[in-house]
Structure 1
């Protein structure tokens, strides 16, 4: 089992840098931040930008992996975003993991004046977003040696023509820090999304079904994991080759409420075959309110829970 922590981008860097450094010192395997322009009940509170935050975190850490939990096509285009991610992965020394979702239906979905999308449209956009990022983040194939046709030169860059996104001779010159590209971890619950995970991703992340709590949530999470097995097999892929990330704070309990609660939740996730679990850094009040002393107690348990 590997352990992750989400640090919301709410602090000034003068205060926030301590949390990223401590996440590594406490022994977490990966640290994440949300990729939103604003978020739900915290919309009236300070909220920083994702990529600059993670870039700063990369500079002050050495070992811990960093990631987006999760990036959204609501307000991003794959071409400039791939440039940002490629640079961030280089700065981090190849420690970046790209979490991607289909885009929520809240603030981010309308802040730029977007029209409301149907579930089908959101999935089609999600698929294009992932497919183009998958291609861009592998960077460009090296130019072939030999004679060049001066009349009809070879195409340059990366081209993509979809319904939602287009790339015309997009340039990703260089070599990716990770081979063949940064790992993709896709958020998906439906059959089409799980099929996309099986086709293109190194990992799958779920928060479970919206609104479910307690035993209903755990039952649904187990069913989703089973459906991923089926989707992987249908794609001709070993289900065990897909890393599985579970947000422990999504089923009605906060995993950092106590060390015993954390241990219990991790045990249940392990039984369902999850390889990674993710908790949230405790906030002073409101959602994810808790104690950093409890987080330190939990960190002391991580070696035994692995």
Structure 2
């Protein structure tokens, strides 16, 4: 995860390095601002990912995650088509309901009416359903409670067929249902917790809950990748290479196929040392199975 807070001359080497280190995918936040960083530098996700696509060739790229607070499906689907085309089929669309707390900047900046968690989940369902249609159909008409589209065009369609992969962030059963119906991946940040073991117990409970939702939807468990944001835990995953390897192992034991860590920042959130990231690339990635391990071990 590379936060969109750097001018491009400083961000470009990080995106290049993520690929060179052998990571499978790299992401950025799709917020208008985030927590206490709202008063600092912050850039839009779409042009950032477009630029990243132009300086990489194998790295998968995506939003982690886009939300209805920031995006509207008809306009956003055109950006998704463009990102998929420019990256030659390397774009993944991470989506989520968005934070409904009044202090969340994406919510507060528009001065809108606060949605209940149920309403936010329903709006996410419409957002994903309409975006799905816009990316796979030549023409889409849609009339929902939150969104409307009249003869919206989808030509030429995605490079990836039938469309770009959707990764749906969800902790509740209703949003998990959206992930089970439409997602090629499920994303979780786990529960809020002050203790690391408590956080992992919550992650295990969420993984079990998602298994139940998949079963209810008649979806094959193996057909949905599982992404865990390690740094939602009370301890930064890149505290050391050894700690990172331990956390990856715990995620794998719970059935997660992918984990996401943050590029170390100099201070504040995700403060750490880039030397640890380099050590992870050199010593940990080659020990892992899958694309990252193979590439890093070449």
TM-score (norm 1): 0.91
> Which residue pairs with 1:303 in the alignment?
286
CA distance in 2, matches of 1:286, 1:60: 28
Partner SS for 2:155: coil
Which string of whole-angstrom CA distances, capped at 9 and with x for unpartnered residues, describes residues 125-178 of structure 1?
1110010011111141xxxxxxxxxxxxxxxx2111001011111111113110
> Which residue pairs with 1:227 in the alignment?
209
Contact persistence 2:157–2:163 (CA under 8 A): no
2:47 maps to 1:52 = yes
Give the CA deviation at 1:76. 1.3
CA distance in 1, matches of 2:141, 2:127: 14
> Which residue pairs with 2:79 in the alignment?
84
> Which residue pairs with 2:110 in the alignment?
112
Q: After the TM superposition, which residues 192-207 of structure 1 pair with which residues of structure 2 at under 5 Å, given as runs?
A: 192-207=174-189
Structure 1: state its 5+ residue gaps.
1-5, 141-156
Partner SS for 1:169: strand
> Which residue pairs with 2:91 in the alignment?
96
CA distance in 2, matches of 1:212, 1:240: 32
- Report the structure number with the largest CA radius of gyration: 1
Give the CA deviation at 1:57. 0.2
Greater RCO (CA < 8 Å, at least 6 residues apart): 1
Q: From 163, 166, 169, give the equivalent of 2:151.
A: 169
CA distance in 2, matches of 1:9, 1:190: 28
Q: After the TM superposition, which residues 6-21 of structure 1 pair with which residues of structure 2 at under 5 Å, given as runs?
A: 6-21=1-16
CA distance in 1, matches of 2:191, 2:259: 17
Partner SS for 1:297: helix
CA distance in 2, matches of 1:191, 1:212: 23
Contact persistence 1:139–1:176 (CA under 8 A): no
> Which residue pairs with 1:144 in the alignment?
none
More helix per residue? 2
> Which residue pairs with 2:296 in the alignment?
none
Q: After the TM superposition, which residues 1-306 of structure 1 pair with which residues of structure 2 at under 5 Å, given as runs?
A: 6-105=1-100, 106-140=104-138, 157-211=139-193, 213-300=195-282, 301-306=284-289
Root-mean-square deviation (Å) = 0.9
> Which residue pairs with 1:149 in the alignment?
none
Give the CA deviation at 1:75. 2.3
CA distance in 2, matches of 1:181, 1:103: 23
Show structure 1 runs of 4+ deviating over 2 A: 210-213
Give the CA deviation at 1:51. 0.1
Contact persistence 1:75–1:112 (CA under 8 A): no
> Which residue pairs with 1:154 in the alignment?
none
TM-score (norm 2): 0.94
CA distance in 1, matches of 2:39, 2:137: 39
Structure 2: state its 5+ residue gaps.
290-298
